[in-house]
Amino acid sequence: VEFLYCDLASMKSIRQFVQQFRAKNCPLHVLVNNAGVMLVPERKTEDGFEEHFGLNYLGHFLLTNLLLDTLKQSGTHSHNARIITVSSATHYVGKLHLDDLQSRCSYSPHGAYAQSKLALVLFTYRLQHLLTANGSHVTANVVDPGVVNTELYKHVFWVVKVVKWMTAWLFFK
């Protein structure tokens, strides 16, 4: 096992990671896009993107696209390479504000999070359509893991934190 650093909130870091990975000349059979933030206060990535959209969506979008050729070369007729993107059922309430992707007009942590997860779902559906149309040996899937007991909830309201603390052992994965 070897660790390569990649900060999905930084386009520069993503590009450096891909360059380091490609230099190893290794196949890539599975890419799991699972980094994310949820309900963070209004702030920006180092590239100036609203953090939910920048990290949750744009980071995965850039990483996936930069590694797509490697994935295509790694997949075979009998063993497709796979892209697995972790989203959230929150995407159902998301709205893609094409005129305000950065949530500049009215920031809502819930709205920004839901929009970033909806963007991931739409990207994955479109990517799978293109991969299939081109006869590629890569599949793209988007999944909702359900409610998982992670640090993702650190920005929720304190009452929710207390309820989570009391019930997570019973209801959360």
The pLDDT tens digits for 104-115 are 778 888 888 899
What is the model's pLDDT at position 169? 46
pLDDT at residue 155, as a whole number: 58
Q: How far apart are CA 147 and CA 153, in angstroms?
A: 10
pLDDT tens-place string over residues 44-89: 999 999 998 999 999 999 999 999 999 999 999 999 999 999 887 7
pTM over 0.85: no
Q: Which of these, 152, 90, 82, lies nearest to 121 by C-alpha position? A: 90
Active site residues: 113
DSSP state, residue 54: I
Which domains are present in the chain? 11-172 (3.40.50.720)
For 78-134, what is each residue's pLDDT tens digit? 999 999 998 877 766 677 777 877 777 788 888 888 999 999 999 999 999 999 999
Structure tokens belonging to residue 97:
């504000």
Separation CA 115–CA 40 (nearest Å): 13
